[in-house]
Chain A
Amino acid sequence: AQSVTQLDSHVSVSEGTPVLLRCNYSSSYSPSLFWYVQHPNKGLQLLLKYTSAATLVKGINGFEAEFKKSETSFHLTKPSAHMSDAAEYFCVVSQTGANNLFFGTGTRLTVIP
Chain B
Amino acid sequence: NAGVTQTPKFQVLKTGQSMTLQCAQDMNHNSMYWYRQDPGMGLRLIYYSASEGTTDKGEVPNGYNVSRLNKREFSLRLESAAPSQTSVYFCASSEAWGARRNQPQHFGDGTRLSIL
Pairwise interchain contact A50-B41, C-beta atoms closer than 8 A: no
Q: Which A residues touch B43, using CB under 8 A?
A: 44, 90, 101, 103
* Binding-face segment, B14-22, B62-70, B71-79, B91-99: B91-99
* Binding-face segment, A11-19, A65-73, A78-86, A92-100: A92-100
Pairwise interchain contact A104-B109, C-beta atoms closer than 8 A: no
Q: Which B residues touch A45, using CB under 8 A?
A: 107
Pairwise interchain contact B4-A43, C-beta atoms closer than 8 A: yes
The answer, among B40, B50, B97, B104, for a CB contact under 8 Å with A46, is B104
Pairwise interchain contact A100-B104, C-beta atoms closer than 8 A: no
* Closest Cβ–Cβ distance, residue B2 to chain A (whole Å): 12
Q: Which A residues touch B48, using CB under 8 A?
A: 100
**Most chain A CB atoms below 10 A, which of B48, B101, B108, B110:** B101
Pairwise interchain contact B105-A97, C-beta atoms closer than 8 A: no
A32 near B: Cβ within 8 Å?
Answer: yes
- A65–B100 Cα distance when bound, in Å, is 22
Residues of B participating in the A interface, judged by any CB pair closer than 8 Å: 4, 31, 40-45, 48, 50, 58, 90, 92, 94, 96-98, 101-110
A selection of 27 A-B contacts at a CB cut-off of 8 Å is A9-B40, A32-B101, A41-B109, A42-B110, A43-B90, A43-B107, A43-B110, A44-B43, A46-B105, A51-B102, A90-B42, A94-B101, A94-B102, A97-B98, A98-B97, A99-B50, A99-B94, A99-B97, A99-B98, A99-B105, A100-B48, A101-B105, A103-B43, A103-B44, A104-B42, A105-B41, A106-B42
